[in-house]
Amino acid sequence: MNQQTTTESNTKEFAAIDLGSNSFHMIIVRIVNGSIQVLSRLKQRVQLAQGLDDKQQLSREAIERGVACLALFAERLQGFPTENVRAVGTYTLRRAVNNEEFLTAAAQVFPFPIRIISGTEEAKLIYSGVSHTQPENGRKLVVDIGGGSTEMIIGEGFNPLIAESRHMGCVSFGKTYFADGKISNKNFNQAKQAALSKIEDLSWEYRHLGWQSVLGSSGTIKTVSQIIAENFNNDGVITAENLQQLIERVLKFDSFDKLKIAGLTEDRISVFVPGLAILSAVFENYRIEQMRYSDGALREGVMYGLESSFQVDDIRERTVNSLMEHFNVDQDQALRVADTAVLLGQKYARWRNPDLVADMQNILLSAALLHEVGIAINHSGVQKHSAYILQNSELPGFDRSQQRLLATLTRFQIKSFKLSDLTPQDNRYEVQDILALIILLRLALIINRSRRATELTDKFTLDVSSDLVQWELEFENGYLDRNPLTQSELSDEKTFLSSLNTQLEFK
């Protein structure tokens, strides 16, 4: 059987390939229940830009490295129809005057068309990849620092409003400003000033359009985020302050060979410092306060352009619906629990982080809809199985912190736990808010425990003291008498919550 999915499984497989200046990337996915399931990601460090000389001639060695990588990709793609594979070449192949030589050699081992795209098209595809995989709403500034070029896009929803690509990348700047592998204030500042000179004309227009959030993609920004998570702030968010702290730490070293920082891998050292100079210039030019790393980038943008059914208005809703269908969730029960959880979440008014209320309420809704996905493994320990699935699945529309919170809520939906179990892996969500979300989900489950035999009700009030210790749930007259199982389970919950120094009263 070839690797293309058979008609019996009624799914399609797609591949998107990004022939970058530093690395070649391939992502292979299939559509499962209307959503994308990643089958594999392949990456080869080709360093194509290293082979581009002053006359924009691509060396024979660089061409051979690229072709060898494509031969490996072709082996994985045996049996794929041509229309299900899309490969794009970026900065280095755009610049190379002998790119036809590369394409001719590639065609001998790679039986799929390769399209060399413009900088503007690359920027728009990057924006598509980010906007289709990240949860942020509103206007976004997206920055992608590649091996040979940097793309900067402002967009709203899935639509780019302005997109620019400039000739500055971590490989090309490495060759120009750090060719000897030495690190100094002088060469770092030269690289930064060169980057500023290439983008300063964009400053006013971009800042005039404005944005609500900033996202960065690809290797340089991923590496910076990892280093910040290891050394400064465990949520990995890049701020102007911790970026400057990182630069100061890097400049204490005098060569790439000696550069050792937690979170920096060996294979990124040679391109990290020039990439850091470019990122510093971007922060300064656009007066960026903070940036979050996005897993989605060019290859995801290429992939989302392959199939119209990938295009949706609400990424998170698509992800949740797909998981419910894939794991055969009892949708009637999930909706009952979700309706109650949403109502409880609206009545709860003691959030410690008011800026994240809408975000947390939405994750509570998702947890209510997905709390039983683990039944597909076993009803016994469903909370553990559900949490494992949600923690380890690819969930477009949820960033890493949101995915962890979603898994935490489902993990503690039933049974006992300790407050120490809620220690967050980053500092986005307050522990008190996490505990409140868990209690809200547990109460929603108790109210609907009898499933179809449950008497549906939205006639209850919730009052929580300012110190979060006292919770009072009041139903309409006679409700608990008519639903003795609910009353019994609320009594058990009261006993458990007292062990967490939380007092639950109900009537």
**What is the pLDDT at residue 307?**
64
CATH 3.30.420.40 residue window(s) in the chain: 7-117
Does residue 289 register a pLDDT over 90? yes
Please give the class, per CATH, of domain 7-117.
alpha beta
pLDDT digits (tens, 9 = 90+) for 198-253: 999 999 999 999 999 999 998 899 999 999 999 998 889 999 999 999 999 999 99
**Around Cβ 67, how many Cβ atoms within 10 Å?**
18
Q: How many CA atoms lie within 13 A of 309 on its CB side?
A: 10
Tokens of 207: 């800042």
Q: What share of the chain is helix, strand, coil (3-state, %, to 5)?
A: 50, 15, 30
CATH 1.10.3210.10 residue window(s) in the chain: 315-506
- What's the 3-state SS for 353-398? CHHHHHHHHHHHHHHHHHCCHHHHCCCCCHHHHHHHHHHHCCCCCC
CATH 3.30.420.150 residue window(s) in the chain: 120-296
**Around Cβ 352, how many Cβ atoms within 10 Å?**
14
Mean pLDDT of the chain: 89
Please say whether the beta carbons of 150 and 275 come within 8 A. Answer: no
pLDDT digits (tens, 9 = 90+) for 113-123: 999 989 999 99
Name 217's bridge partners: 144
Domain 315-506 falls under CATH 3.30.1490.20: no
Return the closest-CA partner of residue 215 out of 287, 277, 149, 131: 131
Does residue 6 register a pLDDT over 50? no
Name 43's bridge partners: 25
Please say whether the beta carbons of 440 and 348 come within 8 A. Answer: yes
What is 120-296's CATH superfamily?
A: Exopolyphosphatase. Domain 2 (3.30.420.150)
Residues 6+ apart with CB under 8 A from 398: 135, 316, 319, 363, 366, 406
Backbone angles phi, psi at 255, to 5 degrees: -160, 160
Tokens of 405: 């919170």
The pTM of this model reads 0.72
35 falls in which pLDDT band (50, 70, 90)? low
pLDDT digits (tens, 9 = 90+) for 164-182: 999 999 988 999 999 899 9
**What is the pLDDT at residue 159?**
86
Residue 374: Cβ-neighbour burial (10 angstroms; 0-12, 13-18, 19+)? buried
Tokens of 198: 């290439």
1 falls in which pLDDT band (50, 70, 90)? very low
